Amino acid sequence: AMVVGTFMLLLLGAVSASIYTVQRAAAVTAVAAGARVAASGMPGTAGAARPDLAGALPVVRRVVSPVLAGTRLRSLPPDRPCPQLAAIPRGQVDLCATAAGGMVTVRLRGTPADSIPLPGLDWSLDLMAEVHVVTFAP
């Protein structure tokens, strides 16, 4: 009985860690792709490019939604910072895009719904990517 219990605990931990690894890898890829989209910009006044913060979040959502099954993805309005991790309910992940000082920041923060809570292990996601804004002028 002790061997079976120990084996099941180790198996549960390994499955939980595997799921978290896949989710984190997708989230890293997503925020990097979103930051590149935001930094590439869109046409602005006089032909100069300006950051496309609104265009970044759908890219992030498209990449992470297949691996965050059952998790509520909340896209915050552009230029609004993500709330603190403790303020985000379990099962929800916030997506944020901000621009400041020639840099674009895309952030994904929260705790996925399908993570298995194990004592001493925090399976939350808090990732961000920063990219310099690319500007082109005629």
- Residues 68-95 have pLDDT tens digits of 988 999 999 998 989 999 999 989 999 9
pTM attached to this predicted model: 0.83
Helix, strand, coil fractions of the chain, as percent rounded to 5:
40, 25, 35
* Residue 63 half-sphere exposure toward CB, CA atoms < 13 A: 20
- The amino acid occupying position 14 is A
Lowest mean per-residue pLDDT among 12-21, 100-109, 128-137: 128-137
Start-to-end CA distance of the chain, whole Å, equals 74
Is residue 56 within 8 A of residue 97, CB to CB? The reply is yes
Q: What's the pLDDT score for residue 26?
A: 94
